[in-house]
Amino acid sequence: MPVTIMGAVHTPPQPYLLLARMEQLIIKNQERFSHVVERVSQFHLEFEAIHPFIDGNGRTGRLLLNLDLMKEGYPPINIKVSDRKRYYDCFTSYHSNGEDPSKMVSLVREYLEEELLKYVEIVRNANEISR
């Protein structure tokens, strides 16, 4: 039975297409040479468009996004509940604007910058303590 996404402007593929679409996504992701933030944002948008599970696609997609960030040496990000509308708007924009990932790239970049600044502050505080 096909999955539907409430309020979405995109319809996920039929179940019999899932395996092929996921294989294409993984191959396509391995071929990309863009910056990690662009790559993980694009992958996340495309993974959620495929919507391979009946439930838990968002959580799984965000875990995969963070796994890819951590594999590249970046900290994981946590998209806050208070930013849920902006997060969902990224998907609407992607599907309405010719698959332009720029809104998701901006969201991920902002969260990543926030996390990196936290790490910098921790290092500064540690240096102050050790003096």
Where in the sequence numbering do the catalytic residues fall?
Answer: 51
**87 within 8 A of 65, measured Cβ to Cβ:** no
The DSSP secondary-structure symbol of 97 reads T
Q: Which backbone phi and psi does 13 adopt, to 5 degrees?
A: -65, 160
CB 117 within 8 Å of CB 84: no
